[in-house]
Amino acid sequence: MTDFADLDALAAAVGTELGVSDWMTIEQERIDLFADATGDHQWIHVDADKAAQGPYGHTIAHGFLTLSLLVPLANEATSVGGIRMGINYGLNKVRFITPVPVGGRIRARVHLDAVTDIPDGIQAVRSVVMELEGADKPACVAESIVRYLR
């Protein structure tokens, strides 16, 4: 984890890698809970028997489940002190590149692309690569925007 004392220290890190999270295993229970929370019960995610006969040979995580884990994994990779709060402001670009198999492990690699001043804080644009252990290509890539308020 990379710890920044304050927003000035974070802003000085533009153009660098901020950190890498630990690996997180994606279990079927998490996939099922996400399906229940979103109403997306497509068989490729929740029906192990049918998925075994499908294109991947097993269930896979929802792309949006992988994306939703960007925030906690990115927060594990880096922290900023001296702020009142951080707000997930949105995304500019997202691609789901490699499906995450049940039992697969992902982690976030966070790079700081830009920082701009906003009232009472800064807006940071970060490139986040959701790596999939053992895969040639990442599970997901996203350009994430976070607002840090003093």
* Coil/strand/helix, residue 99: coil
Phi then psi for residue 112, to 5 deg, are -90, 115
Average pLDDT, the chain: 97
As a whole number, mean pLDDT of residues 103-109 equals 98
Superfamily of the domain at 2-26+63-149: Hotdog Thioesterase (3.10.129.10)
Q: How far apart are CA 41 and CA 50, in angstroms?
A: 13
Residue-wise pLDDT for 50-72, tens only, equals 999 999 999 999 999 999 999 99
* pLDDT category of residue 1 using cuts at 50, 70 and 90: confident
What pTM value is reported for the model?
Answer: 0.94
Residue 75: is it exposed, middle or buried by C-beta count within 10 angstroms (0-12/13-18/19+)?
middle
Q: How confident is the model at residue 134 (pLDDT cuts 50, 70, 90)?
A: very high
Mean pLDDT of 14-37: 98
